[in-house]
Amino acid sequence: MSDPTAHVLDQVVALEPAGEHRFRGSTHEAWANMVGPFGGATAATMLNAVLQHPDRHGDPLALTLNYAGPVTDGEFFIEARPVRTNRSNQHWVLEMRQGDEVVTTATALTGLRRETWSETETGPPEVPAPEDVPRASEDRGVRWIGNYDMRFVTGGWDDVAGDDGTTTSTTTMWIRDSPERGLDHLSLTALGDSFFPRSFLRLGRPVPAGTVTLSIYFMATADELEAQGTDFVLGSVHAHRFHGSYHDESARLWSRDGTLLAVSNQLMYFKS
């Protein structure tokens, strides 16, 4: 069902209709993570079910993904149901299944946007241009990293080997798809989950960890995403607290000119 000549992101999010409110898709080896696929690819695939749905009303505003269990390599089905359509927005409930097992649940919100007072109150940190930051190694033991050009400004993968860990959980990086691809809601969704776990940084070593729930809010309108083209996105993420097997992560993604494109929040399980 996926076109092998398409961009690797478009291959992994590809879906074919499989009945009313139902779509069939398949995992893709280029997006493999430690266990199952990269969560950002799963999130983008779920959003694509909304985008492909004939009854969709408006652009994506928000998406919440709950990772209920590991996605096994191979086929899956997504049910995407518009449960309420208002004049200016629409509420969606989604579920991904493999066999009888629910592997992912989600809710999404689409809607129409009008011109209003507009301001990015939280601008990006002061950082060098992406051209002045070396591209990070793809050698992190998981295949999906190869689909991105990541350039760490602070809190990079090298700091995970720091034994005692770092005193802050912040990572700031430039990132874009590799090969390059024009930014849209799908790629932005995947970027929202592209940071390695904050526990790795604070503990100074990789530990068992996984996202349990992720919410992304699309702060940019479609015209702004279009204007972004294939340029780098600046991402910055940090955790507020680590406690009792869980920590949060709060990320912001800006365009090069400082427009806030999206905010992404998640709760992660970790062992220490």
Chain residues in the site for a copy of itself (CB under 8 A)? 61-62, 64, 66, 68-69, 83-84, 86, 88-89, 91, 93, 95, 101-102, 105-107, 109, 111-122, 168-169, 199, 202-203, 212-213, 215, 217, 219-221, 238-246, 248, 250, 252, 260, 263, 265, 267, 269-272
CA distances from 93 to 64, 101, 105, 199 (A): 10, 17, 8, 31
CB of 137 to a copy of itself, least distance (A): 27
Distances (CA, A) of 259 to 120, 132, 190, 202, 233: 6, 21, 18, 29, 10
Give min distance, CB of 29 to a copy of itself, in A: 25
CA 68/CA 197 separation, integer angstroms: 18
Between 58 and 146, CB nearer to a copy of itself: 58
Nearer to a copy of itself, 121 or 126 (CB): 121
Contacts of 160 (CB under 8 A, 6+ apart): 196, 200, 201, 204, 205, 206
Q: How far apart are CA 251 and CA 118, in angstroms?
A: 20
State the nearest-atom distance from the C-beta of 7 to a copy of itself, in Å.
Answer: 27
CB of 118 to a copy of itself, least distance (A): 4
Distance, in Å, from the CA atom of 97 to the CA atom of 87, rounded to the nearest integer, reads: 31
Q: How, if at all, do strands 59-67 and 148-154 pair?
A: unpaired
Closest CB to a copy of itself among 146 and 210?
210
**CB-nearer residue toward a copy of itself: 60 or 156:** 60
Report which secondary-structure segment, H or E, holds 26. strand 22-26
Q: How far is the CB of 155 from a copy of itself (least distance, A)?
A: 12
Closest to a copy of itself by CB, 96 vs 150, is: 96
| Residue listed under structure tokens 């190869």 | 146
